[in-house]
Structures are given as structure tokens and as C-alpha cells.
Amino acid sequence: MKQHKLTFRQDAILFRNALAKWMRETGLAIGALVRAQDCQYYTKDGHMYPGNEDYVPPVGLVMNATPSANHYAAISGSSEWLNPGSFLTMETLGSQEVDKYRRNVGLSLPCIPGIIPRMGKDWYGGIQDRQDRSSGINWEVVSVGYQHFDSTDWTSASAMKALAKEHFAGPNEQERGEFRTFTDERRQQFSDYINGSIELSEMKDPELPDNDS
């Protein structure tokens, strides 16, 4: 358990530092204007779903909130990768006529080459395209924010220790078969990206494993 917690923290630190750098490079910060292509949201007339014929991609402002992300979201086949929770929220523009608590739209982690792989395998060995399976992940920054999220505490040793404690606490305590880690190759790529040895455009998703016979 001690070794698992240590490995968990090490992977979490790499992931969050890489994610913090990606956010800075893309301008994803407080006050950023974001356009989402696959999010449901409220209008004065009710729900607007991506499949609607009159669907208009919502645009909103990223407000003062703390990003939420678990590095398991970067490991294909995990439930966090296939069914990501909310990473950030944005307040949709033109939503003044909507109840205040319905103005926010959750944004999940998008597919980021080398960080959040698009293709992977599920528990049953089938190939999964994350963009087909997940919602709220197809969005882009159209205008950069003015205040970057403070990643100091988000990636600090104390924050990672607390994250590991929460992750391994009952009833979420994991058995060996459910424990997931990055490969050494992925750890090296994360490190190279964080320290500037490679650019985001040089990042590679992990290769899919061969099919079992």
C-alpha cells in the first residue's frame, strides 16, 4: 500500500504539472472564453442538447474555480478516462434569463495528444474512441484568460498526499487489479514536456496493445 501510494503521488504530480503547462500554453485561465461543441445547456426555452437540429454550440466564460482532475483520466480503459467528471465550469453567455444555478456548464478534460489519449481499450479489450463515448470533451479556447490558475498548491506535495489519502480511503480503497500507473515511457514523456525538452506537438499517445488471441 505504501508503494502504491508513492507511485500514485508521483504519477499525479507529473500529470498535473503537464496539465498546468498545457493550460498556460492554450490560455485556459480565469476569464477565458470557451466554445463547446458537445455540451448540453439550458436556455430560456429549456434544455439544449447536442443532437438537436437547432443546436448552437455554447460559448461561456471560465470563472474563478479550481480545476479538478485525476491522472487516471490519462490512462485509457479507466472509468475516469471513459466517463470523465467536470474539469472546469463556464458560465454561458446570454444566460441571464436562465436560473442562476443553471447557467454553468461543466467541461470535461479534452483529448490532448500525449496527455489524454483519444484512443484506447476498455475493460473487455474493445477499441474505444473517447470522443465518441464521452461528452463535454470537445471544446476550445477562443479568447485567452487573464489570470492563470495557481498551480502551486494544485501540484504541491501536500496536495498530492491529500489526493492519495482520499483516493485510497474506504470505500474507494483499491485492490491490486484496479491499481493503474503510467508506463516508464509515459513518465519520461511527461517529464520532457514539463521541462521543455519537447513541445506539445511532439507528444505521442501510447500505442494500443495488440489484440489478445
The per-residue pLDDT for range 98-146, each reduced to its tens digit, is: 888 888 888 999 999 999 999 987 767 788 898 888 888 999 999 999 9
Torsion angle in degrees (nearest 10) through CA of 82, 85, 87, 91: 120
Residue 101 has a pLDDT of 81
Number of folded domains that form the chain? 1
- What is the dihedral angle through the alpha carbons of 115, 121, 122, 127, rounded to the nearest 10 degrees? 120
pLDDT at residue 211 in the model: 54
For residue 209, tell me if it sits in a domain: no
Residue 208 lies in a domain: no
On whether residue 77 sits in a domain, the answer given is: yes
Task: Give the pLDDT of residue 171.
Answer: 65
Backbone angles phi, psi at 44, to 5 degrees: -65, -20
Domain-located, residue 112? yes
Query: How confident is the model at residue 131, as a pLDDT?
Result: 87
Amino acid at site 91:
E
Please state, in angstroms and rounded to a whole number, the distance separating the CA atoms of residues 116 and 141: 17
SS (H, E, C) 12-36: HHHHHHHHHHHHHHHCCCECCEEEE
Q: Which residues of the chain register pLDDT less than 70? A: 123, 171-174, 177, 208-213
- Give the span between the Cα atoms of 51 and 41, in whole angstroms: 12
96, part of any domain: yes
For residue 62, being part of any structural domain is answered with: yes
**What is the spatial distance between Cα 187 and Cα 17, in angstroms, rounded to a whole number?**
12
CB neighbours of residue 146 within 10 Å: 10
- Residue 92: what are its φ and ψ, rounded to 5°? -65, 140
In a domain, 84, yes or no: yes
Domain span holding position 60: 2-202
The whole-angstrom separation of Cα 193 and Cα 202 is 9
**Angle between helical axes of 184-194 and 2-26 (0-180°, round to 10):** 40
